[in-house]
Amino acid sequence: MTTVYDFSAATLDGEDRPLKAFEGQVLLIVNTASACGFTPQYAQLEELQRALGPRGFSVLGFPCNQFGGQEPGSAQEIATFCSQKYDVTFPMFAKIDVNGDKALPLFDHLKTEKPGLLGKSIKWNFTKFLVDRAGKVVARYGSTTSPGALSRDIEKLL
Which positions are annotated as active-site residues? 36
The 8 Å CB, 24+ separation contacts for 81-87 are 81/34, 82/34, 82/42, 85/42, 86/42, 86/43, 86/46, 87/46
The Cα–Cα gap between 65 and 24 comes to 30
Q: How far is CA 19 from the centre of its chain?
A: 12
CB 52 within 8 A of CB 95: no
